[in-house]
A and B are shown apart, each in its own frame.
Chain A
Amino acid sequence: MDRAETEAIREVLGGNRDAYRVLMDRHFSSVARVAFRITGNEEDAEEVAQEAFLRAYNKLPSFRQDSAFSTWIVRITMNTAINLVERRNRDLSYRAPRIADEPSAAEGTVRVADGQAGPEGELLGREAASLRETAMAALTPMERAAFTMRHMEEVPMSEIAEALNITVNSAKQAVFRAVSKLRRSLAPVAGGLR
């Protein structure tokens, strides 16, 4: 951690709230980014970013300065984001369509009208965007977090595991399940699943 950050933390702990701005300036964009990946929308991402920075601030007295603030705040962000998605799911009694474990015509599987079957290029269209959204919404918050961090943000599995307080194997399994579900949800458009 560089000196400006160490100094800022010292200042904050000494009672200067405005020194926290230094840390926010540096890490806001990565926090917002992670929050957006996991929540999937701008409004919730902002909510998570606020909460994460506030939690980090309140926990600052116990922050061990031998580790990087960036790692720490991202870790808090991931957990805050997962909690928010869970809260949303619960509070709104939101029931996302579940992707069936087997690619049968089971109830609740995301289905795409036959007429939509077409070339891969169609996946890039607007309808595909809403299809992708539906598919992502059917992942558990943990799967979604693990998948977006690994695939979109290219965070190593070990870091994801540590951040989510699970084993590396569990993190891998969460990513695998996510990809498998997403693949099945896209199968009708993408030209079939074998």
Chain B
Amino acid sequence: MKHFSEEDLIAYQLHDSSNETATRRHLEECVECATVSESIAETLRAFSAEPVPKLDLERNWQRLRGNLSVLGDDQPKRVGLRWKLIWPAIGLAMVALLVVIFIALHGSYTMKTRRNVAINGHGPLTTEPRDPAIADHLDSAERLLTEVNNTQGPLDDITREQAHHLLLKNAVYVHAARESGDMAQAAVLENLGRVLTTLDNEPETPHSTWRLRLEMNTSGLLLDIRILRQNDDGNQGAAQ
């Protein structure tokens, strides 16, 4: 008798099974699978939805209201509330990071960037609207890298699949950033591309994953991506 895997049985208990009838029939006859299935059901019962605390709508509205900029005119929108608060602190760190990245990437190459307000610590990295798809790309990259950063041991297939997917798109965005003269963004994306390539190519061993994390952390890539992404959120109103 062919038994069902734990995955099949979880899907069955969550009503996501593609062959529910066959599974049910098997469970009626097979004690082994029925036991696992019941243990899964028990787990799901133990983690059934607990009541959600009710948050105060009025207080939350007042708090939010204070952070809303007026939309619909030409003045630049304000950046997110948390971001606004930590901006001064991060400004200095950013300048240092950007300098390091530029030096690392381009050596003595003379940069011909246009005036970049971020360098002065007052505003976004770029002042021109950029492709909303970039915002999504950075969003996904941030999530992926955070996941990699927080995972101990080898990476799973999903993470690697995502890395591959992002890598394919990344080259396009590097090109676009260069074309638009946004060298700061191009540099971060190039750095991202390198990490993604490592993720995509290397045989999966605990050691390679560890090395990858080290590379990510020393380069400050995650922080750079967060900065770019936050700027997108705060200023471009990028599409989801």
- Please report A residues at the B interface, Cβ cutoff 8 Å: 12-15, 17-18, 20-21, 24-25, 28-29, 32-33, 36-37, 42, 45-46, 49-51, 53-55, 57-64, 72, 75-76, 79, 82-83, 86, 89-90, 98, 120, 123, 128, 132, 136, 140-142, 147, 150-153, 157, 165-167, 170, 172-177, 179-180, 182-183, 186-187, 190, 193-194
Question: With the chains together, A6 CA to B209 CA distance in Å?
Answer: 48
A190/B158 contact (C-beta < 8 A), A58-B237, A60-B71, A176-B10 known: no
Q: Is B68 a contact partner of A15 (Cβ separation < 8 A)? A: no
Partner of A142, one of B6, B32, B147, B157: B147
Q: Is A59 a contact partner of B55 (Cβ separation < 8 A)? A: no
CB distance from B22 to the nearest CB of A (A): 18
Chain B residues 112-161 with CB under 8 Å of chain A are 132, 136, 139-140, 142-143, 146-147, 149-152, 156-158, 161
B 55-70 binary contact with A (CB < 8 Å = 1; else 0): 1010011011101111
A55/B43 contact (C-beta < 8 A), A21-B61, A50-B81, A194-B32 known: no
Identify 21 residue pairs between A and B in the complex whose beta-carbon atoms are under 8 Å apart, listed by A's number: A32-B55, A33-B52, A45-B55, A54-B81, A57-B71, A59-B237, A61-B237, A82-B143, A83-B146, A90-B146, A98-B152, A128-B46, A136-B47, A142-B147, A147-B47, A150-B16, A170-B162, A174-B158, A175-B10, A179-B13, A190-B39
Total interface residues on B, using CB and 8 Å?
Answer: 64
Main secondary structure, interface of A, reads: helix
Q: Is B238 a contact partner of A62 (Cβ separation < 8 A)? A: yes
Partner of A59, one of B52, B142, B143, B238: B238
Q: Is B60 a contact partner of A46 (Cβ separation < 8 A)? A: yes
Q: Is A54 a contact partner of B42 (Cβ separation < 8 A)? A: no
In the assembled complex, which residues on chain A have CB atoms less than 8 Å from the CB atom of B140? 165
Query: How many pairs of residues, A versus B, come closer than 8 Å at their CB atoms?
Result: 187
Question: With the chains together, A88 CA to B158 CA distance in Å?
Answer: 23
- Please report B residues at the A interface, Cβ cutoff 8 Å: 6-7, 10-11, 13-14, 16, 32, 35-36, 39-40, 42-44, 46-49, 52-55, 57, 60-61, 63-65, 67-73, 77, 80-82, 132, 136, 139-140, 142-143, 146-147, 149-152, 156-158, 161-162, 233-234, 236-240
